[in-house]
Structure 1
Amino acid sequence: MPSIQRLIHILVCLLTLTLALSAGAGELTRADIAKRFGPPLHVGEQPPDLPAWPISTELEPDGPPVAWVFESIDLAPIPGFEGTPFDLLITLDRDGRFMNVEVLRQHEPVFLSGLGEGPLLNFVKQYEGKSLKKNITVSTAYGDLPGNDDMRVVLDGVTKATASVRILNQTVLTAGLAVARAKLGFAPVVNTGPPATPKPDLFERKSFDQLVKEGAIGHLRLTEAQVEKLFEGTDVAGWDDYAKAHPDAVNLDLYVAYLNVPTIGRAVLGDSGYATMRKSLNTEQHVWWVGTHGRSKLVDEHFVRGTTPGNLTLLQGGAPLELRDFDLDPQQPAGAPPIDTALVLRAPPLSGLDPAGKQDFVFSIKRTRGQFRPEVVYREATLTYLPPERYFDRPPPPPPDWLLAWMDRKVELITIGVALGILTLVLARPRWMSLSARRLAIFRNAFLVFTLAYLGWFAQGQLSIVQLTGAVKTLWQGNSLASFLYDPVSLLIMAFTLVTFFVWGRGTFCGWLCPFGALQDLSTQLGRKLGIKARRLPPTLARVLDRGRYVILAALVAAAALEPTWAERGVEVEPFKTAITVGFDRAWPFVLYAVALLVASVFYYKFFCRFLCPLGAFMTLGGKLRLLKWLPRRAACGQPCQTCRHRCQYDAIEPAGAIRYDDCFQCLDCVGIYHDEQRCAPLLLMRKNPAAASRIGMTDKITS
């Protein structure tokens, strides 16, 4: 018998685990969503930061999404009555209005074997057209909820299913607000860090009055004159004879106290009342005491215990949180002023509330005019409650997502940082490295292999024209470039390249840090070992192609701003995605194009870099920020010596000997020749015949 009981227990646990796992994530795919939206609507890809699908329209091809569709279980897995969250498919338009709420999956007993799903389906239809900018609440058969007005929308509830539909409403609002804040510009939740927790061992014996003075108990007092002012401009203004006769009388004394803090809870409920509350409290539930005095009361004689007080709403960060009566019977707090009505209210578990953050308790004040079919008007007064921080423990805030991305790639960033430091030293003091042609070749080839294999294929640090066009498109649409923070390797290379613009010009990136450029360079060297001789394009054709890079660059930038679809296609002029990002694992036309460019570079050195690359054109423009002429030259360079010019594979040296920095890739060959007495003609002549070298000015140094 015990074995059978144990087996049943195991089966129940497995079933519970299965239900929990099946309820933990959305179940629909993009194809499933697309079946619900026909032309001209189109379902886009989910962004990496939000489990929601954007819906665009062919009528506005370049406009923002007209709606967002998402499953509530991905954003608000609030346990239902029996512990399993609702899974709802919610469609929210770009103004924050609900277009549709569809029930995908639910496990509420009352809707499975009791009332059936009919009342539930009718309930969710009410969300259509309702705005998240209003306070959406659910009516009840018991409480006195204010009707619809400028700030409040009241949905018809479902008798015998009050708890279930309130959980559903909280699910809809929480999930909807998450999307609205992320994509529709709604005010974000107050950034106080992770939710605070009350310090369980901190207790100080304080009076009610002391707690009010320090803000541990919130207080709002409204006189009849102040309430009358709230109703100015309405049909009931001036209709209250008592208010006109007693303008200084108290209409509302509203007190709010967060009871989870021992110092506050024990002062308000007393030691025994606080202990009773704690015994009945579920994990992660927040509890408040709310008391009122005056003509405006918290509840009336028709209020039913265990339900929601109809004229009180709690907001945090703009998100409404429903409060339900805890069904306790609080007594008059010791030392407190007179209290007419008081309730202990609790929020649902997993509400996401920060008890140490700002809480807005909105009290609805009712005024009527007439007796037969009276006109009813509501106005709202807000008590902003912020308990003292010292009563709470707050865990350190987690680092932002972009910083997590940097932390995850710490090893790559350190490795690349060390490599950039070495490269900086070599470029800053190039003489020793370049003096020996063999030493320079070993270092350069080793660095090119590192750039290709580690920086490119492994770390995915290939800069691309796509980043430039993406930045243009983002800025053109009025958005920020914060997304760049999520690609730390590329951002590090960008920052380093920007600095080198001012020091060495464009060649630092193009000659040392471009993975595809490194692949071309290594392919050319392989071709030389196979006996393929280098060729040079005719100067006129080379100049035309060189200028063509700028035409491609200008066209892509303009398209990014004005016609993004064209830009998305045009950037394929770059083979970087094919050769580096996906390692040639792509459709054959793209692979054929990339291979063709590599073959061309075997015959015409760095063919793509020098004659087609739009990113190289941008780098050339950036290189014009260079402040130094750092490559040393002599008066005899070019007049008459032509050694460096003939050996420069980039054609970056003028016949007169000057360096064209716009075309220089900083291979350092000319620096090595300049210092090498075995390769530099002026140095050779000076060593053999110093007098002759001096007469023709071969010992004078100049900088170009």
Structure 2
Amino acid sequence: MRIARTLLRRVLAGGTLLLASLGLCAPAGAGDLAHADLARRFQPPLHVGDKLRDIPAWPITSELEPEAGPVAYAFESIDLAPIPGFEGTPLNLLVSIDRKGNFMDVELIRQHEPVFLSGLGEGPLRDFLAQYKNKSLKQEITVSSLYGNNRSGAGSNRVVLDGVSKATASVRIVNQTVLSSALAVARARLGFAAPADKGPLAEVRPNVFDPRSFAELLDSGAIRKLHLSNADVEKLFAGTDGADVDTEAIAKPADTFTDLYVAYLNAPTIGRAILGDTGHADLLRRLERGQHAWWVASAGRDAFIDESFTRGTVPARLAFSQAGGPVELRDLDLSPRPPAGAPPLNAALVLRVPPMSGIDPASPVRFELTITRAKGSMLPVITQRNVVLDYQAPEALFSRPPAPLPDWLLAWQDRTPELTIIGAALALLSLVLARPRWISVSARRLKIFRLGFLAFTLGYIGWYAQGQLSIVQITGAVKSLAAGAGLKSFLYDPVSLLLIAFTLVSFVVWGRGTFCGWLCPFGALQEFAALLARALKLPERRLPARLATILDRGRYAILAALVAAAAFAPQLAEKGVEIEPFKTAITVGFDRSGPFVAYALALLVLGGLYYKFFCRYLCPLGAAMTLGGKLRLLDWLPRRQECGQPCQTCRHRCTYDAIEKSGAIRYDQCFQCLDCVGIYHDENRCAPIMLYRKKARSGH
């Protein structure tokens, strides 16, 4: 007894010293780096400019291209995508991309993910981040894992990064953080559009070719024409200083002022008809992936370009947009010949958009032509009017790929086998708890089922599927909500979310014991430690009632302190959750530094001497489960009138001290082991039943 009490004092003191030794640090705010920090990382010939005002990113220029403007951008992810991690605090990464949207580097600045703090360490996380180098935002970047690698059916534009075992949810959040922040900068500075904003873009069907004449393409809408007569233009300028300026228009109102033609060229049916086979092939060689080109031509009195136009530049009078978003159209300098059957043209250009402009080639686009008139010769009054031509290439020329699944849904897809197996196990457990008589009336049968299920909980749910629920999920939720970030990060851990949902339902039906007694991997490990202790002939001890009560109430104090710290002192909560040995014993399988392993082993030794010591006296998650168990609607464990009056069989055999002398069940302490249910129905163990049977034989 003295040895056990000494061990108890030492483990409590050791836990306190462990938390103290972890230390505290002041939380860093968003944007940890200054200009000097960036300058040290980007050495000449690269130079870091001042942080931009419209988006928190540093432009990077090069001495080798002094006239090129920024050749890259660097930015901190927390400024652009402060996505809460598993623990509730956003990571901060320094991301750098070049002007084509390729990742130059992704560097870890700070992170608070429990598994990377002192479990696996930051090495695996840094190795994961190194994989982004030379990858492109034009690619679909996903994360593989131990449970599913996403490689089956992957398209040529998909890149699968190697995940980190035991940190599946965390690295998916990291990937979302990297991509979200990088796309924000690419949209603002590189003309990119996030695929998630517009859905999957249509793709040209390269094998679809139907020879058509110019007239047939015009009739089908593959070529669109805007016709403006002189009279039409006069109406545009009516009532302005530009009215009655064009004498020719007034003299010949029915004559053509301009005919504007537009057509999408990437599709072979249109492109080959306008440019010819050789010209279309040359066009496709010049275009980059995701880049689109249009043929624009004009006929009549007015050309959409004039003598001052410089090849390779943007036509000054022509604007281009899709869904209200303007996109730059630049001359490709191809000098296309007039296609067969076309009317006499006064100008024709092949114009292209930037490679990742986000343009959907099968959706409507708008061309806007500016017409200008000047009144007076010395200081002319300039008046401008705009006309629009809406264009949509035929849908039959395109295919639409299926919409990519969001990253969190990919996590669920990857974990389908684990979710199915765990779901089946939960269904079986529900059946047993709903109809416990058959399984529990035989002590041997109950023992086999219980030990088998606990082995499944420890080995499969805990060590393999990483489904150990933890106080970290509560403190992380508090942190996220306090920061106004929501709980989306929970979606990246489907196994835990399934267990959370089941546990919440079980509160109403059975109380707190369903999780603590059957589904907690560390709880199962403690139970096996107790069995080992009995096999080694170590005595099972019970704490003095007063000390047990104090420790039991202390769990709620620990819970309250951690929740308050999560809301008001997040760094303190981050360290305080180490009172749980779950990360050490389950998440990383004891692959951790000495003090943490010693603490976890000491708790298991105590659990061998004092049954489920940590669960019953220290666990803050258990305290939260007990509070959740208050939602229980039914007293579902059967009792007899004789229970406790005078029979005390179940109370003496309850290793959780969950039965009152009166025979009533203390559901707050009950772990639903079903021993008392088995005794209740067993005619060879239930004293009242044995007494009834004895009286029946004696005739009384």
Alpha-carbon distance, 1:192 to partner: 3.0
Cα distance in 2 between the residues matched to 1:373 and 1:479: 58
Alpha-carbon distance, 1:500 to partner: 1.9
In the alignment, which residue of structure 2 is the partner of 1:483? Answer: 489
Segment drifting more, 428-437 vs 357-366: 357-366
Can you list the C-alpha shifts for 1:394-427, whole angstroms capped at 9, x where unaligned? 2333433223323333332333233223222222
Alpha-carbon distance, 1:309 to partner: 3.0
Unaligned 5+ segments in structure 2 are 1-24, 39-44, 76-97, 104-135, 139-177
Alignment partner of 2:622 out of 611, 616, 626: 616
In the alignment, which residue of structure 2 is the partner of 1:565? Answer: 571
In the alignment, which residue of structure 2 is the partner of 1:300? Answer: 306
Segment drifting more, 650-659 vs 413-422: 413-422
Can you list the C-alpha shifts for 1:577-624, whole angstroms capped at 9, x where unaligned? 111111112122222221222122122221211222121122222222
Letter in 2 for 1:327: L
State the secondary structure of the residue aligned to 1:639: coil
In the alignment, which residue of structure 2 is the partner of 1:524? Answer: 530
Segment drifting more, 662-671 vs 284-293: 284-293
Kindly tell me: are residues 171 and 687 of structure 1, through their superposed partners in 2, closer, same or farther at Cα, counting changes over 3 Å?
A: closer
Letter in 1 for 2:332: D
In the alignment, which residue of structure 1 is the partner of 2:205? Answer: 198
In the alignment, which residue of structure 2 is the partner of 1:290? Answer: 296
2:268–2:280 Cα contact (<8 Å) kept: no
Letter in 2 for 1:431: R
1:257–1:289 Cα contact (<8 Å) kept: yes
1:506-521 matches, within 5 Å, as 506-521=512-527
Alignment partner of 1:273 out of 276, 279, 289: 276
Alpha-carbon distance, 1:540 to partner: 3.3
Cα distance in 1 between the residues matched to 2:211 and 2:29: 61
Letter in 2 for 1:61: A
Cα distance in 1 between the residues matched to 2:582 and 2:506: 22
In the alignment, which residue of structure 1 is the partner of 2:403? Answer: 397
Kindly tell me: are residues 333 and 371 of structure 1, through their superposed partners in 2, closer, same or farther at Cα, counting changes over 3 Å?
A: farther
Kindly tell me: are residues 622 and 483 of structure 1, through their superposed partners in 2, closer, same or farther at Cα, counting changes over 3 Å?
A: same
Alpha-carbon distance, 1:513 to partner: 1.0
Letter in 1 for 2:590: F
Alignment partner of 2:332 out of 299, 311, 325: 325
In the alignment, which residue of structure 2 is the partner of 1:433? Answer: 439
Kindly tell me: are residues 571 and 349 of structure 1, through their superposed partners in 2, closer, same or farther at Cα, counting changes over 3 Å?
A: same
In the alignment, which residue of structure 1 is the partner of 2:115? Answer: none
TM-score, normalised to structure 2, is: 0.67
In the alignment, which residue of structure 1 is the partner of 2:69? Answer: 124
2:629–2:668 Cα contact (<8 Å) kept: yes
Can you list the C-alpha shifts for 1:260-311, whole angstroms capped at 9, x where unaligned? 23444466x2xx6365323543174532112357998532212233444345
Kindly tell me: are residues 656 and 492 of structure 1, through their superposed partners in 2, closer, same or farther at Cα, counting changes over 3 Å?
A: same
Alignment partner of 2:479 out of 473, 476, 480: 473
Kindly tell me: are residues 59 and 428 of structure 1, through their superposed partners in 2, closer, same or farther at Cα, counting changes over 3 Å?
A: closer
Alpha-carbon distance, 1:391 to partner: 2.4
Unaligned 5+ segments in structure 1 are 1-57, 72-85, 104-116, 131-166, 230-236, 695-704
Segment drifting more, 359-368 vs 562-571: 359-368
In the alignment, which residue of structure 1 is the partner of 2:59? Answer: 100
State the secondary structure of the residue aligned to 1:289: strand
Kindly tell me: are residues 630 and 216 of structure 1, through their superposed partners in 2, closer, same or farther at Cα, counting changes over 3 Å?
A: farther
Alignment partner of 1:61 out of 14, 28, 39: 28
Q: Does 1:636 align with 2:642?
A: yes
Kindly tell me: are residues 455 and 98 of structure 1, through their superposed partners in 2, closer, same or farther at Cα, counting changes over 3 Å?
A: closer
Cα distance in 1 between the residues matched to 2:424 and 2:617: 32
Alignment partner of 1:355 out of 347, 361, 385: 361
State the secondary structure of the residue aligned to 1:689: helix
Kindly tell me: are residues 385 and 512 of structure 1, through their superposed partners in 2, closer, same or farther at Cα, counting changes over 3 Å?
A: farther
Kindly tell me: are residues 376 and 174 of structure 1, through their superposed partners in 2, closer, same or farther at Cα, counting changes over 3 Å?
A: farther
Kindly tell me: are residues 667 and 559 of structure 1, through their superposed partners in 2, closer, same or farther at Cα, counting changes over 3 Å?
A: same
Cα distance in 1 between the residues matched to 2:418 and 2:607: 30
Can you list the C-alpha shifts for 1:308-356, whole angstroms capped at 9, x where unaligned? 43455656685845533241334378577x9653312234667765422
Kindly tell me: are residues 506 and 633 of structure 1, through their superposed partners in 2, closer, same or farther at Cα, counting changes over 3 Å?
A: same
Kindly tell me: are residues 504 and 59 of structure 1, through their superposed partners in 2, closer, same or farther at Cα, counting changes over 3 Å?
A: closer
Alpha-carbon distance, 1:567 to partner: 1.7
1:654-665 matches, within 5 Å, as 654-665=660-671
Letter in 2 for 1:276: G
Cα distance in 2 between the residues matched to 1:660 and 1:279: 82
State the secondary structure of the residue aligned to 2:632: coil
Report sequence identity in percent.
51
Cα distance in 1 between the residues matched to 2:488 and 2:310: 51
Kindly tell me: are residues 535 and 408 of structure 1, through their superposed partners in 2, closer, same or farther at Cα, counting changes over 3 Å?
A: same
State the secondary structure of the residue aligned to 2:262: strand
Alignment partner of 2:655 out of 649, 659, 676: 649
Alpha-carbon distance, 1:91 to partner: 9.0
In the alignment, which residue of structure 1 is the partner of 2:545? Answer: 539
Alpha-carbon distance, 1:258 to partner: 0.9
Kindly tell me: are residues 444 and 244 of structure 1, through their superposed partners in 2, closer, same or farther at Cα, counting changes over 3 Å?
A: farther
Alpha-carbon distance, 1:361 to partner: 5.1
Alpha-carbon distance, 1:470 to partner: 1.7
1:208–1:333 Cα contact (<8 Å) kept: no
2:59–2:73 Cα contact (<8 Å) kept: yes
Cα distance in 1 between the residues matched to 2:504 and 2:357: 46
1:502–1:623 Cα contact (<8 Å) kept: yes
Can you list the C-alpha shifts for 1:354-378, whole angstroms capped at 9, x where unaligned? 4224546566777889988999999
In the alignment, which residue of structure 2 is the partner of 1:627? Answer: 633
1:95–1:184 Cα contact (<8 Å) kept: no
Kindly tell me: are residues 467 and 184 of structure 1, through their superposed partners in 2, closer, same or farther at Cα, counting changes over 3 Å?
A: farther
RMSD (Å), alpha carbons? 4.8
1:91–1:101 Cα contact (<8 Å) kept: no
2:242–2:383 Cα contact (<8 Å) kept: no
1:549-588 matches, within 5 Å, as 549-588=555-594
Cα distance in 2 between the residues matched to 1:241 and 1:129: 52
Can you list the C-alpha shifts for 1:528-570, whole angstroms capped at 9, x where unaligned? 2222222223333333322322222232223223322222112
Kindly tell me: are residues 469 and 224 of structure 1, through their superposed partners in 2, closer, same or farther at Cα, counting changes over 3 Å?
A: farther
1:309–1:325 Cα contact (<8 Å) kept: no
In the alignment, which residue of structure 2 is the partner of 1:699? Answer: none
1:500–1:506 Cα contact (<8 Å) kept: yes
TM-score, normalised to structure 1, is: 0.67
Cα distance in 2 between the residues matched to 1:401 and 1:87: 34
Segment drifting more, 297-306 vs 354-363: 354-363
Cα distance in 1 between the residues matched to 2:235 and 2:27: 49
State the secondary structure of the residue aligned to 2:68: helix
Letter in 2 for 1:277: H
| Greater RCO (CA < 8 Å, at least 6 residues apart) | 2
Cα distance in 2 between the residues matched to 1:68 and 1:658: 68
State the secondary structure of the residue aligned to 2:591: coil
State the secondary structure of the residue aligned to 2:351: strand
Q: Does 1:346 align with 2:291?
A: no
Segment drifting more, 94-103 vs 310-319: 310-319
Q: Does 1:599 align with 2:544?
A: no
Letter in 1 for 2:331: R
Cα distance in 2 between the residues matched to 1:531 and 1:68: 66
Cα distance in 2 between the residues matched to 1:553 and 1:663: 17
